[in-house]
Amino acid sequence: MKNRVVLITGATGGIGKAVAIALAKQNFTVIIHGRDKEKTLKVRDEIITITGNTDIDILVADIFLLSNVHGMVYDFKQKYKRLDVLINNAGGIMGKSREITTEGLEKTMAVNLFAPYLLTGLLLDLLKESDDGRVINVSSSSHRLNAKPDFTDMQLDKNYNPLIAYGNAKLFLIWVTMHLQAKLDRQGIDNVMVNVMHPGAVKTNFGVDSNLGSMLNFISKLARPFFRTAEKGAETLVYLATTNGLPAKGSYYVDRKVAVVSAKYHSPLNEKIVWDYCNAITGLNL
């Protein structure tokens, strides 16, 4: 795996950090993304100490903001002319009150869907320079448990609920993964593959600060001790980043196996609606 370049968003803790350490041990050049420069530098130094791999770099950006995603890509392209693996790991569940970014986007959709969509689109040219380019999106079983999309109210202006917002974003991320792979296949681009995965319920700080209401906060606190470790949650990401001859592309993986996506709301038309909506919000024309 020498000289393979990987960019991991949300890599200063939890699953992102665990997969960064695992890939650094396999001699990847690892670029970790974080929101806080001091913390991201500290994690970089920790990864170097743990793995002995000095090819660890950082990118700092608040990817709730699409303008910052553009800036992050600009910074990356100043230093790197190729990207082998992009892991869109950063995400989050928001609180019970609907919040918007300074760009006017609902925060759950901004970080879980629009940011990875935009980042992938802006880096696709560099992924095509790889002989084995890979995009791995991190979704969730929440796409099955909580999604309830309203295609006339994509960002839940009227009926906001934090779990529905999160479930919708993760469902839509699966759909755009499938859609992008199909487009690459039609274009004859066989050196880039796109997959999506669910890491399982992981014992990290994810969602700890989200106020979901007293009952859900209580249930979450009770369940957390039974969650899997970040290292266990990262295993499927490492598998998708490194394994030759994966069983499928454009697919949803759980525990290193292809899993079934909820078909409840899916149709080619709905998938295209989400794809076109992401294009419109991000200004891309993928």
Q: Which helix or strand (DSSP H or E) is residue 66 part of?
A: helix 66-79
Catalytic residue among 166, 252, 253, 277: 166
Helices (H), 105-194: 107-109, 115-127, 142-145, 162-186
Which tokens sit at 67? 């303008």
Tens-place pLDDT, residues 181-206: 999 999 999 999 999 999 876 544 54
Tell me, yes or no, if the pTM score tops 0.85: yes
Q: What is the pLDDT of residue 206?
A: 44
166 is annotated as an active-site residue: yes
Domains of the chain: 5-255 (3.40.50.720)
Average pLDDT over all residues of the chain = 91
Res 272 pLDDT > 60? yes
Q: What is the pLDDT of residue 224?
A: 42
Could you tell me if residue 141 is left (phi over 0), alpha (psi between -120 and 50 degrees) or otherwise beta?
alpha
Res 227 pLDDT > 80? no
Res 274 pLDDT > 50? yes
227-260 b/e (C-beta count within 10 Å ≥ 16 → b): beebebbbbbbbbbbbeeebeebbbbbeeeeeee
User: What CA–CA distance (Å, rounded) separates 181 from 21?
Assistant: 28
Tens-place pLDDT, residues 49-102: 999 999 999 999 999 999 999 999 999 999 999 999 999 999 999 998 999 999
